[in-house]
Chain A
Amino acid sequence: MSNRVTIAICLAVCLVYVLVFFRRPVIVGGFSPPPFVAASDEFSGQNDRPLFSEEFLPVDPESKMAHVASMCELSGGALLAVWYAGPAELNPGVAIFGSVCAPGRAWSEPEVLVDRILASRELKRTIRKVGNPLVWSDGENRVYLLYVSAIGGWSSSSINLKTSEDGAKSWGPSVRLTLSPFCNFSELVRNRPVALDGGGFLVPIYHESIGKFPEILWLLPDSGARGGFAVWKTRIERSRGFLQPSVVALDPRSALAFLRNSCGPDLGLSASSDAGLSWDAPGHAGLPNPNSGICAIRISGQRLLMVFNDDSRPGERDNLRLAISDLGGKNWVRIAGLEDAPYQSFAYPFIIRTHDGLYHVVYTYNRTRIKHLTFNEAWIEDRIRDAGQPGPGPDNRK
């Protein structure tokens, strides 16, 4: 190769790099994520009288197992719940089901949203199992469904995204998100996302293979990207053994992440003050955790509400309780027992607040059914009084 040829090649390489540099996905300035959509304490109605109701979702009767439910509010106030069900966990016969509850009506018959055959067809590859669906809405007609698909056990899971543009009446094809360098394995999703200013989402996810640790999936709007989002992933550092983060935004820049603990008896807690980009090393949240899923949400009066298994023995999920704390996330007061039955299993709670001020909790009931609870803030205040506790942060309460 003569020197001229070498110089020409170097110039061509420079051109390639320049083009790639300007074509690369720009993750909001590289390292400054957009702030969270400000969490509001204000909502209307349904707060005068305590309200509490419980019901089971209409799980397919042929399914021997139902697990990992999540739900969201659709435009018009309807609720969409999703879960996975089938012969057994990690069985090829498992499918992801969805059911809608329009205001004043009963839950619709569950419909299969994704099974391994549809996922295989849409992703154009072999899929053996599906699971862990997470559904949320942008507040209008667009609804997102993240689910995991696996070729073997959960450690071979990858995350996929489906989008509906018409309020979950029809769904677009699945899009595979590549999030891990090792064959894109071992990425799972479980808890509610946090909306970002500008239309994106921070989705708490976790890695589960040789080690377990929590991560943050950033979905940032990009019309040119597959699935309509530029994808980015960060992780909650120094957090081995913790997983399934439940992230609660406190203000546009700060958030708390409550973490399931697979290596100890206490619930983990990590805080971020830069809109989720970096997180403190996890400490203890002041609640026990029997290596089980939890879900937290911000409620009015500068408080947090947590649904959790109140036990520190690993694997013990025979109760489910509610507790409230101030925004520090460490001063918890147990206010209600939702379930308590020895040798039973109540797991993977998921909580949302709808625009009418109601709280909806769904969780796995004995691994065979999905239970749905509805209550309002008046009921929470009632439970605080009944528990004989003033509740945390009374001075801050509105």
Chain B
Amino acid sequence: MEAYLFSFVAPFLAVAIGIGALLHLAGFEISRPPGKLVVATAALILVLIPVKQAPLARFVAGFNANFSITLCSLLLGFFLRQISAIRLFDRSALRTISMSGMIAGFCLYTCSMNLAPFDLYQLGWGSVYLLAPLFILTICLILGRNRAGFVLATAVAAYGLRLLESDNLWDYLIDPFLICWCLIFSMSECISSLRRFFRREPKSGAFERI
């Protein structure tokens, strides 16, 4: 039952962010109470609309029933940022999530396609070989004041509570949609870094003049 109810969370947040973006583009103020209420209500109605005899959220579950806790946390962060001043994640946390997501996704999906001599996904069924490194990483991130550590801790807690249909810890950490976001975010970071780099060029020219 918990897994069934939780499967509505990611579609709800995604739809709410989409509606919020559309309303923002149309010039509506959504950070004030009436706007927030409109966004949340519209998103709720949309995810409950029956599509082929099931609510839209469950129609989506036909394709993917296990949206990771990391993705849900990111969506919640984006939604809160859209409708309020709350910022769940700063830039460094987003960078940490995107980098670790890409590395983990590359390793996991490569292994699960039988392109490596071992299967990392196997470790997700309660293996201490996954839990122990995650624990160390979580503590390190929290001590380093990086909010990605809280996301990891939340994902592990959700795994303990079996909030997803899956019994595999990997499904609480990453999913294909999160990896897509990680790729897009990393590419945008690269592009903005390159832009910054080229903007600094005149400074070196000044050095030459001296």
Contact = CB atoms under 8 A, between A and B. Distances in A.
Interface of A: 1, 6, 9-10, 12-14, 16-17, 19-21, 23-27, 30, 120-121, 124-128, 151, 176, 178, 180-184, 207, 209-211, 213, 225-226, 230-235, 237-240
Contacts of A10: 139, 142-143
Given A125-B62, A230-B125, 8 more contacts: A25-B126, A25-B167, A176-B65, A178-B164, A178-B168, A181-B121, A209-B113, A225-B167
Contact of B135 (A9, A17, A124): A17
Contact of B160 (A19, A125, A232): A19
Contact of B156 (A20, A127, A230, A231): A20
Given A126-B58, A176-B165, A181 B170 contact: yes
Interface string B58-84: 110111111000000000000000000
B132 to A, nearest CB: 9
Interface residues of B, number: 53
A321 B106 CA distance: 44
Contacts of A183: 63-64, 66, 175-176
Contact of B131 (A21, A121, A209): A21
Interface in B90-144: 108-109, 112-115, 117-119, 121-122, 124-128, 131, 134-135, 138-139, 142-143
A14 B159 CA distance: 15
Contacts of A235: 114, 119
B53 interface: yes
Contacts of B109: 181-182
A233 B122 contact: yes
A213 B115 CA distance: 11
Given A6-B142, A20-B131, A25 B125 contact: yes
Contacts of B112: 180-182
B131 A24 contact: yes
Interface of B: 4, 51-54, 58-59, 61-66, 108-109, 112-115, 117-119, 121-122, 124-128, 131, 134-135, 138-139, 142-143, 145, 149, 153, 156-157, 159-160, 164-168, 170-171, 174-176
From B113, B139, B176, residue with most partner A Cβ within 10 Å: B113
B160 A20 contact: yes
A184 B58 contact: no
A16 B153 contact: yes
Contacts of A124: 4, 54, 58, 61
Contacts of A6: 142-143, 145
19 contacts: A10-B139, A14-B139, A19-B160, A20-B157, A23-B160, A24-B160, A30-B127, A120-B53, A120-B54, A125-B54, A125-B61, A126-B51, A126-B61, A176-B165, A184-B65, A184-B166, A233-B122, A234-B119, A235-B114
A1 B145 contact: yes
A213 B114 contact: yes
